[in-house]
Amino acid sequence: MDEKDAAKFDSYCSPEAAVEYMKRNARQEDADDVLRAIDEHCWKEQPRMSNVGDEKGKILDKIFSDCNPVVVIELGSFIGYSAVRMARLLQRDGRLYSIETNPAYTKLAQEVVNYAGVGDKVTFINDSASNIVPRLKDTYGIESIDFLFVDHWKTYYKPDVMSLLETGLFRKGTVVLADNTIYPAESNCSPEAAVEYMKRNARQGDAEDVLRAIDEHCWKEQPGMMNVGDEKGKILDKIFSDCNPAVALELGSFIGYSAVRMARLLPRDGRLYSIETNPAHAKLAQEVVNFAGVGDKVTFINDSASNIVPRLRDTYGIGSIDFVFVDHWKTYYKPDVISLLETGLFRKGTVVLADNAIYPGCPDYLEFIRSHPNFTSKAFDSHLEYSDKKDSMEKSVYLGE
Ligand SMILES: C[S@@+](CC[C@H](N)C(=O)[O-])C[C@H]1O[C@@H](n2cnc3c(N)ncnc32)[C@H](O)[C@@H]1O
Please tell me the distance from the alpha carbon of residue 86 to that of residue 76, in angstroms, as a whole number: 13
Q: Whose CA is closest to 352, among 249, 258, 266, 261?
A: 249
Nearest CA-CA partner of 348 in 309, 398, 298, 277:
398
Residue in 385, 391, 394, 395 annotated catalytic: 385
CB atoms within 10 A of CB 55: 8
What confidence score (pLDDT) does residue 95 get? 98
- Considering the domain boundaries, does residue 185 fall inside one? no
Q: Which amino acid is at 136?
A: L
Q: How far is the CA of 317 from the centre of ligand 1 (A)?
A: 23
More confident residue, 212 or 277: 212
Segment 155-163 mean pLDDT: 90
The closest of 207, 324, 205 to 260, measured between CA atoms, is: 207
- Locate the DSSP E strands across 4-156: 71-75, 95-100, 122-126, 145-150
DSSP structure class, residue 323: E
Mean residue pLDDT of the chain comes to: 93
For 174, the 3-state DSSP assignment is strand
Question: Does residue 330 have an active-site annotation?
Answer: yes
The last residue of one of the domains, among 146, 178, 210, is 178
- pLDDT for the residue numbered 221: 83
**In sequence order, which residues have a C-beta less than 8 Å from that of residue 339 and are 6 or more positions away?**
305, 306, 309, 310
Instruction: State pLDDT tens for residues 92-147.
Output: 999 999 999 888 889 999 999 999 999 999 999 999 899 999 999 999 999 999 99
Q: Which atom of ligand 1 is nearest to the CA of 104?
A: 25
The count of other CB atoms within 10 Å of the CB of residue 317 is 7
Tell me, yes or no, if 201 is annotated catalytic: no
327 in active site: yes
The rounded distance, in Å, linking the Cα atoms of 21 and 160 is: 33
Contact 84, 111 (CB under 8 A): no
pLDDT band at residue 183 under the 50/70/90 scheme: confident
Q: How far is CA 284 from CA 165, 196, 255, in A?
A: 30, 10, 5
> Which of 147, 178, 209 is a domain's end point?
178
Q: Which domain holds residue 328?
A: 191-398
355 is annotated as an active-site residue: yes
Number of domains the chain contains: 2
Query: Residues 34-60: pLDDT tens digits?
Result: 999 999 999 987 777 889 999 999 999
131 and 60 within one domain: yes
In a domain, 184, yes or no: no
| 10-35 confidence digits (pLDDT tens) | 345 678 889 999 999 999 999 999 99
51 is catalytic: no
378 compared with 361, residue with greater pLDDT: 378
Within this chain, do residues 220 and 115 fall inside the same structural domain, yes or no?
no
- Listed in order, strand segments (DSSP E) in 179-313 are 247-251, 271-276, 298-302
Whether residue 231 contacts residue 385, with contact meaning beta carbons closer than 8 Å, is answered with yes
Report whether pLDDT(156) > 70: yes
Which residue has the CA at smallest separation from atom 26 of ligand 1? 254
CATH number at residue 169: 3.40.50.150
Catalytically annotated residue among 327, 336, 391, 394: 327
Q: Distance between CA 38 and CA 43 in Å, rounded?
A: 9
CA distance 362 to 4: 13
Among protein residues, the one with the nearest Cα to ligand 1's atom 1 is 226
Per annotation, catalytic residue among 283, 330, 334, 395: 330
- Specify if 229 maps to a domain: yes
How far does residue 157's CA lie from ligand 1's centre (Å)? 27
CA distance 382 to 229: 11
CA distance to 197, 240, 282, per residue, from 309 (Å): 33, 21, 17
Asked if the model's pLDDT at residue 306 lies above 50, the reply is yes
- CB within 6 Å of ligand 1 — which residues? 226-228, 251-254, 257-258, 275-278, 281, 304-306, 327-329, 332
pLDDT above 90 covers a percentage of the chain that reads 82
Domain boundary among 108, 143, 178: 178
